[in-house]
Amino acid sequence: MAFRTGRVLLIKFVRNYSSARGNDTIHHKVVVAGGGTGGCSVSARACRTLGPGTVAVIEPSEKHYYQSMWTLVGGGIKTMDQSEIKTAEVLPKPCKLYKNRVSEFQPDRNMVVLDNGQKLTYDYLVVALGLQINPDKVDGLVDALENDPAVCCNYMKDTVIKTYPAIQNFKGGNAIFTVPNTPIKCGGAPQKIMYLADEYWRNHGVRDKSQILFNTSLDVIFGVPKYATRLSEIVKRKDIQVNFRRNLTSVDHVKKLATFKQLDHDNEETYNYDFLHAVPPMSAPDVLKNSTSSIVDEGGWLDVNKLTMQHKNFSNIFGLGDCTNVPTSKTAAAVASQNKILLNSLCQVMDGKIPDGKYDGYTACPLVTGYSSCILAEFDFDGKPMETFPIDQSKERRSMFYMKKDVMPQIYWKLFVKGKWGGPKELRKAMCPWLSK
């Protein structure tokens, strides 16, 4: 009897020791890699549909951020703590949470390897890892963000909190706002903060002593002509100088210099700056970009069918959001539509059917143009407007500003991340009383 008891204890010890070292292989029906906007919303839907104990989520971050709010944090309208919640609280309770990073995908073995060596096998995998921000790809930018109070960036949690103080402390001179030569989260965000800064400086007697430069790597101010026309009028009205096809390559914060490559020519331009909002290059996460498997395309993006969210080579793998090669803007609004399509495709595959999803590329970008004005841009794969309301949404409206400021955060926390987002119809219902304002 004593021998049996000792043997049982030894087995338990070996199992616990092995588990602590990450050597166990654990199986889950559905593994979701990523606990951001896409991972939360799709895991919540999956838990309700498939039942408790079926879904595992891999997410190392202690906090979940509503990053769409960071424009307002940078503009002093919201606080950082209003944009965050503990990851464990926002994920559905029936999910098993692994507070780790993915170190390797092994799709041929239906396996994901974590950074502690632990291996998870799955029947189905959902990849929702988001974008990777690479400030180190711009010479001197990391140092400038750490040491120069006048250099800020709304795209990272440690630097967005610098933006409003930098706007407040600006006393005139050159204020430069950049857009990199890579895909980025929310393509309109670099100019949203510019418009807020412009209004702040006008209200505080600084604007007439300032020159605002919008140095963008793109050849248009916005990718959808209807909204680009109105934004062009706005920058002209605000006397903002737009320099197209300029890509930030280096920052010297000691000399207060920002250097840009002219993408259509083989030369560089260097500007003095007194304020710099620098948007770093972005890419697919390294774990995808460096993958040797056929899980990614040539650019390192998860290779999925843009209509169904199913992987092109592995029928039991799905993806959504910023880490995929779906050819639409990388926004939370896109994820809102994609997660419904994805779960439908997943369930169809489980039933032995071929997915018939028809994601149309819907995405939205609330283009904040001031402290009480906003343009609600909504469009599809082809840049064709898909507007929710029976009004001209290219017009600056107070109602759309308060939708962005007050309505959307409630929808995000109470519906979106819980997998209950109703899509554009929810916006229409919420905003009807103020549509004409």
Q: Left if phi > 0, otherwise alpha if psi is -120 to 50, otherwise beta: which for 369?
A: alpha
More confident residue, 351 or 18: 351
Q: State the average pLDDT over residues 82-97.
A: 94
Q: Report CA dihedral (414, 86, 330, 427) to the nearest 10 degrees.
A: 10
The token pair that represents 362 in the structure block: 């819907």
Amino acid occupying residue 366:
P
Is 149 exposed, middle or buried (CB count within 10 Å of its CB: 0-12, 13-18, 19+)? Answer: exposed
More confident residue, 365 or 9: 365
pLDDT, tens only, 157-169: 999 999 999 999 9
Q: Which domains can be identified in the chain, with CATH numbers?
A: 25-132+284-350 (3.50.50.60), 135-281 (3.50.50.60)
List 55's β-bridge partners, or say none: 30
Is 4 exposed, middle or buried (CB count within 10 Å of its CB: 0-12, 13-18, 19+)? Answer: exposed
Residue partners of 310: CB distance under 8 A and separation at least 6: 304, 317, 318, 345, 349, 355, 357
Amino acid occupying residue 420:
K
- The total number of residues shown for the chain amounts to 437
Q: Count the alpha carbons within 13 Å of 148 in the hemisphere toward its beta carbon.
A: 25
In angstroms, the CA 22 to CA 24 distance is 6
Residue partners of 110: CB distance under 8 A and separation at least 6: 121, 122, 123, 125, 316
DSSP 25: E
**Does residue 29 sit in helix, strand or coil?**
strand
pLDDT band at 292 (very low <50, low <70, confident <90, very high): confident
pLDDT, tens only, 174-185: 999 999 999 999
Confidence check: pLDDT of 313 > 50: yes
The Cβ of residue 8 has, within 10 Å, a number of other Cβ atoms equal to 10
- Which residues are known to be catalytic? 186, 365
pLDDT, tens only, 331-340: 999 999 999 9
pLDDT, tens only, 394-435: 999 999 999 999 999 999 999 999 988 756 655 555 544 444
| Cβ pair 29, 55 in contact under 8 A | yes
| Cβ pair 97, 91 in contact under 8 A | yes
pLDDT band at 8 (very low <50, low <70, confident <90, very high): very low
For residue 202, CA distances in Å to 167, 231, 274 come to 12, 19, 16
The Cβ of residue 21 has, within 10 Å, a number of other Cβ atoms equal to 11
**Percentage of the chain exceeding pLDDT 70:** 91
Q: How are beta strands 63-65 and 84-86 bridged, if at all?
A: antiparallel
DSSP 145-213: HHH-TTEE-TTSHHHHHHHHHHHHH--SEEEEEEE-SS--BSTTHHHHHHHHHHHHHHHTT-GGGEEEE
Confidence check: pLDDT of 19 > 60: no
| Cβ pair 138, 155 in contact under 8 A | no
In angstroms, the CA 332 to CA 409 distance is 12
pLDDT, tens only, 344-360: 999 999 999 999 989 99
